Structure 1
Amino acid sequence: MHIRAAARRHPHDDAPDTAAAFRRLAALPPGPERGVLRDEIVEAWLPMADRLAGRFRSRGETYDDLRQVAALGLVKAVDRYEPGLGNAFESYAVPTVTGEIKRHFRDHMWALHVPRRVQELRNRVRYAAQDLSGTTPGRRPTVAEIAEHTDLSEDDVRAGQEALESFSALSLDAAPPGGDDGYSLVDALGAPDPALDTVVGREAVKERLAALPERERAILHMRFFGDMTQSSIAEELGLSQMHVSRLISRCCGRVREQVMREGEA
């Protein structure tokens, strides 16, 4: 079946006359014949999908990728269109294809995950700034002016403005604003604090240490918190250094075994 363009019956020259083809498609059962006719309809409307994709060429995505997304939207429109409702296919397909492209930008083009509400605030703030630019020559519209123009709160306007910078991300090797001398963003990244492991260890043994006899607790406190040597502890308590060494080893082994057993449990 050959589908011919009928420019006079549609607002665009890339709109073919497929009304009869859609009626036939709706009447055909699933099978090879229906698949061939469906493909012919999609191919006939591809110029329109390409035209819609071209509207978004300046937004950071390649035209080839936009064409693929638009073609996917066109296929969905062909599969969902019901000619019996009496509406022209073009009036149904245009918002379907455009919506597919916008969803692509919303879901795949942001370098950072931004909630949909914030994305919508970004668009409203961006369009409002463009509208107001002619009334505020020589300066940018203020937050208050944008809020009044959009009926948004000033906090929402600020959130939208922050999202304007979230569509793409800087490399960690890039210099921060105003930075020089080879300083880059990666130099500002933090690192895990080794003292955190000490905190975890202390909390894990606190209860076990409290259960030790008083003399053993005193020895461990002098050794690990008072930074005393074994000979100093022995002299302080009137014990031999060997005895102090055995007590420290025995207490530490007991506490370690209890903590490990509790962790496995």
Structure 2
Amino acid sequence: MSDMKLNIARAFQTAWSMWKTDWDLLLRVAGLFVFLPQFASLLLVPLMPALPEGDTSEAAVRTWVEAFTTWFGAYGPWLFGAELLTLFGSLVMLSLYLGTNRPPLGAALAGSLRLFPRYLLAALIVSLPVGLFLVPAIGFVLVLPAMYIFGRLLLTGAVIAAEQPIGAIAALQRSARLTRGNGMVMMGVAGVLLFGGQLAAWPFVAAGRALGGAPMANPVTAALLDGAASAALTAALIATVLVRIALYREALVLNREA
């Protein structure tokens, strides 16, 4: 197994083929569960209170904490709800391709509801390495180890959708086994998937947020930019799901040949 490598080029070609063939179905699922929640979040949730710049006094920090607590109390549940819907949409897409006998959309929706608690738990665990980037002082040092772990666990969601019934922890372990010997490659793929969509959407997000915070901004222009950012994030999520599906299938073939 250690001498056998995943065919990453073929996986990306397979993902592109699925994109072209099933775009209409994917757009219906992602439009409802990904685009609309993301668009609503960008359009309706105000900017998070900015950290005090140049003033690290106790009073300034306390004022910011109070403002952030108020902001999060008002809008945190909405942001969390949007992320839940996005996660559910990704699980539906996984189920459409990896569920038993390629289920129709209605069956995929019903099956995803049943699987969602374990999928959510697994997603929270998989996201922990990414959260290490935000740790002050040591985040930069942990980037490579965190991305390596994230890459090894990248197939967890596909495992949950394809290998029912399987628990969250068992799916994490299964992903690690499927990617054994391909850790560095998976780390690279994980980096592309994680940052590619964010980079594509960043110009629209930044411009939309800037206009949203400007008192004389044109609301129509700000809404168009938020819509463009949401569309970029939606396309990136679809691409990410399809690549994970293709990589999972490649890993299965590799393990059978090993």
TM-score by length of 2: 0.27
More helix by share: 2
TM-score by length of 1: 0.27
Tell which has more relative contact order, 1 or 2 (C-alpha 8 A, sep 6+): 2
Quick check: which has more Rg, 1 or 2?
A: 1
